[in-house]
Structure 1
Amino acid sequence: MTKQYSNGHSGCRLNRRSLLQSTAAVLSAPFVVKATKAWGQEKLAGSGEVVVFSYGGSMLAGARRHVYEPFTKATGITVVDVVADVAEPQVKAMTQAGRIDWDITLVQAGNYPAMAQAGMFVPIDYSLWDQESLEGAPAHTRLKDAVAMFGVAVVLAYDQRAFPRGGPRNWVDFWDVEKFPGPRAIEGSQGRHTIVHALLAAGVAPKEVWPLSDDKLHRAFQKLNEIRPYVTKWWMAGGEPIQLLINGESVMSSAFDGRAVAAIRQGAPIKLVWQGSMSYNYCAILKGGPNSINAQKLIAFLNRAQIAAGWTQGTGYPGPNTNQLKYLPTDLTPLLSVNPENASSCVLDSTLWLAEMRPDGKTNADYVQERWLAWRAR
């Protein structure tokens, strides 16, 4: 069952939704969990329904096939999905109205801290999780009132045809235009991703990137001044860098991992370098929702290793449970953020710092973005 919603938003948020859907369409594979009543066990069995937010499209189709239908078969609980471009504005509106119609929502990392502080979510019942789930999901992905649902990274991708003897291995190499000549493309929309890349190119250790002090921002922009003459495209939509690489218009670019993986699995001559910026989208249960108990059961079910592998295959974006790797195709695991080797090479966004308020009433995220846009406008 599906209900359609729209909040009229567009721009980068809508592009992200499209990004997720298009990646899901490519990575979806004939991997369907053979769920039985035994999978439900007594603590997950139930009745009735659970209402879940989704971005729709092929991402939702994959979630239905690999997660929702097996969940219903195993537990007897029906999943009702609602579709919108983004969830946060409607969650806030429902909270203000005092009528919560959904049970589970997706929350972008930057929006989570304020919504959690406002008391919009209920604690996650981790007693429903099996041991394999708890052991596979790192502690920092299991918050008190939210669970990391999937990771999105902006990493380095290059055209293998341009560098048949081996291409760039890190962001230092990206900046080395003599050893690796050719036009570059860099994300022009969200400045924090590119600032992280610039700091890595400047030799800042990944653990020292956050918080982005004024000194670090100055250092990042100084480094960006060096590469600016060689950037022929500041891309705004997720599909652009992949198309630029395929067309030979750029030899290397920052890129969303999901888009790059999808292209690689379709045969594109692209190489992915796992170093960059990464963030999570969270799954949370809304306080006051009509079916909170069933919502707890669905989240516990979804985070089981084999179901998590199904989610990855169906949606194109992996959750953080590393135990899913043993259920995924061996040619896919080296390309995913859930691979510990890849995850360890990325800088995880400091969500709490980005959400902190500055003395001028702006968040750190707003301040960083304003600095970025001012630099771009020069």
Structure 2
Amino acid sequence: MRTSVALTVCAFVLPILLGACSPPGPGAGQDSASKLGDTARAGSVKPGALDGVTLTFTSWGGESQQAQMKVLEGFTEASGATIVEDGPTNYAKLQAQVENNQVTWDVVTVDSVWAAGHCDLLLAPDESIIDGSEFTDGLTLGDCGVPADIYGNVLAFDRGAFAEAPTRWADFFDTQAFPGKRAVSATNPTGTLEAALLADGVKPDDLYPLDVERALDKLDTIRDDLVFWSSGAEQEQIMGSGQAAMGIFWSGRVGFSNKAGSDWGTVKTQPINATSWFVVPKGARDPAAAMALINYWLGAEQGAEYAELTSYETGNRNADPDLDAFARDVQVTSSDYSDQVWIDEDFWAANLGTLTDRWIDWTNG
């Protein structure tokens, strides 16, 4: 990375010490709105408008965050801001920062469902500086968040494990025809409950509201064959180490793992698609500057660069990435995939807390 980007990685600290992780730096407590102007085209920022401003960018870590930082080098060069890096995203930590009035994160990558469910409590509303005019059809600005990328919860499988490849969600639950361990999230039921219901014969149009008990009953049939992951990095570790023969994984992580030498395929029917969002916590030191960073991210060139680095799409309809074979294989909105299923954000926003508790009880049971 160019020397204009300052990077730090902070360890988890107790809420009372939340201010110690990221130094306020010049610009703390300021509002850069007057310097930035009223509006900006997606992908642009007023040159030099954020000289002396420090922003802390927090995301999921690993290759995806490295790619995000690479894309944002252009923002630091144009705006004059310094970006301090932190991670991984931790919802309890973000909540503690807001509730203790010790906000040190300025822009945070979160799951869209979590953002929708915490808009009024923890997140700042969008500023007028955000330009969503180039979003692909179906994506819009949220009340308290901006779509950052698109990913799929896909049925991934070790190509060397089976004589014939699985073709549908029902195969994930068929341990006789497709023996071996299956990997699912340890902490987040989003995507996994939908997969269980699709495997049990529920049509996509009838998924919501989710029949949770039916989904868990279906998952009970393979409980002894499950292994659990808690992060994107653990997904890649499972694929690279042979701990499982199948998994419900994020599409981009399959691409990363294959690029590193794994040989995993994805079932091209019914990916369960979702978005990650960029959000600004309530009490952020300079919300206008944080929104300017997000608006820069939304440009077509930025979207193309990020897709080339990660395979994840940003949702800019004008992005034209030059993808390698690993990335092309996991483009879950492409014509290679059929019958895409989209996470119902409204349902999950209303039920995430209850269903997460229920899921963790089930995984620990």
The aligned counterpart of 1:285 is 280
The aligned counterpart of 2:123 is 120
Change (3 A) 1:370 1:105: closer
Instruction: Tell me whether 1:185 sits opposite 2:182 in the alignment.
Output: yes
| Mapped contact 1:60–1:315 kept (Cα < 8 A) | no
Q: Size of the alignment, in residue pairs? A: 329
* Structure 1 CA distance for aligned equivalents of residues 65 and 174 of structure 2: 41
| Mapped contact 1:77–1:294 kept (Cα < 8 A) | no
Change (3 A) 1:50 1:272: same
TM-score with structure 1 length normalisation? Answer: 0.71
| Mapped contact 2:42–2:298 kept (Cα < 8 A) | no
Could you tell me which amino acid in structure 1 is paired with residue 179 of structure 2?
Answer: G
The aligned counterpart of 1:365 is 352
Report SS of the residue matched to 2:195. Answer: helix
The aligned counterpart of 1:135 is 134
The aligned counterpart of 2:321 is 327
Report SS of the residue matched to 2:72. Answer: helix
* CA offset digits 1:255-292 (Å, max 9, x no partner): 23232111222342211124344433311234554433
* Structure 1 CA distance for aligned equivalents of residues 97 and 361 of structure 2: 36
* Structure 2 CA distance for aligned equivalents of residues 91 and 223 of structure 1: 34
The aligned counterpart of 2:333 is 339
| Mapped contact 1:196–1:276 kept (Cα < 8 A) | no
| Mapped contact 2:251–2:332 kept (Cα < 8 A) | no
TM-score with structure 2 length normalisation? Answer: 0.73
The aligned counterpart of 1:69 is 73
| Mapped contact 1:87–1:105 kept (Cα < 8 A) | no
Change (3 A) 1:370 1:177: same
* Structure 2 CA distance for aligned equivalents of residues 308 and 83 of structure 1: 22
> Which sections of structure 2, spanning at least 5 residues, go unmatched?
1-5, 15-40
Could you tell me which amino acid in structure 1 is paired with residue 264 of structure 2?
Answer: I
Q: How does 1:54-133 map to 2 (within 5 A)?
A: 54-55=58-59, 59-65=64-70, 67-73=71-77, 75-86=78-89, 88-98=91-101, 100-118=103-121, 120-125=123-128, 129=131
Q: Which runs of 4+ in 1 moved over 6 A?
A: 38-42
Identity percentage over the alignment? Answer: 22
Report SS of the residue matched to 2:325. Answer: coil
* Structure 2 CA distance for aligned equivalents of residues 248 and 103 of structure 1: 38
Change (3 A) 1:250 1:330: closer
Could you tell me which amino acid in structure 1 is paired with residue 74 of structure 2?
Answer: P
Could you tell me which amino acid in structure 2 is paired with residue 52 of structure 1?
Answer: T
The aligned counterpart of 2:25 is none
Could you tell me which amino acid in structure 2 is paired with residue 285 of structure 1?
Answer: V
**Stretch deviating more after TM superposition (86-95 or 296-305):** 86-95
Instruction: Tell me whether 1:268 sits opposite 2:262 in the alignment.
Output: yes
Report SS of the residue matched to 1:254. Answer: strand
Report SS of the residue matched to 1:323. Answer: coil
The aligned counterpart of 1:170 is 168
Of Structure 1 and Structure 2, the greater helix share is in: 1
* Structure 2 CA distance for aligned equivalents of residues 292 and 272 of structure 1: 40
